[in-house]
Amino acid sequence: MSDDAGTFAGVTIETNVVGRLRTVTSVREAAECLVGEWPTQGRGDHYRRAVRACHDALKGEATALSARNAFIRAALAAGILVRTAERR
């Protein structure tokens, strides 16, 4: 399993609760967020790619960084991206 928080610097998104933000810091958190908290209107192609990228990263078939990048693209497409942290 590849869930390296060092390559998954924080990604802050808006949640479905007005005024509440969530900072995602791992592939596992990103996958949980995509499956359990993602807005219905944001479940297009970028969403499906992000789900797949997280799944692949958790299986060790992709990197945490590629999952993070896919997650960011999905958040942008859904209009819920607030900010991203820089990698150290």
Average pLDDT of the chain?
90
**pLDDT for 25-45, tens place per residue?**
999 999 999 999 999 999 999
Average pLDDT on 17-24 reads 88
84 strand-pairing partners: 11
Pick from 58, 62, 67, 29: which is nearest to 38 by CA?
Answer: 29
Domain of residue 65 covers 5-84
Secondary structure of residue 27 in the 3-state scheme: helix
pLDDT cut 70: percent of the chain above it: 91
Task: Please tell me the least confidently modeled range out of 4-8, 65-69, 77-81.
Answer: 4-8
Query: What are the respective helix, strand and coil percentages of the chain, to the nearest 5?
Result: 50, 15, 35
Domain count for the chain: 1
Pick from 23, 30, 22: which is nearest to 4 by CA?
Answer: 30
- What is residue 4's predicted lDDT score, i.e. its pLDDT? 56
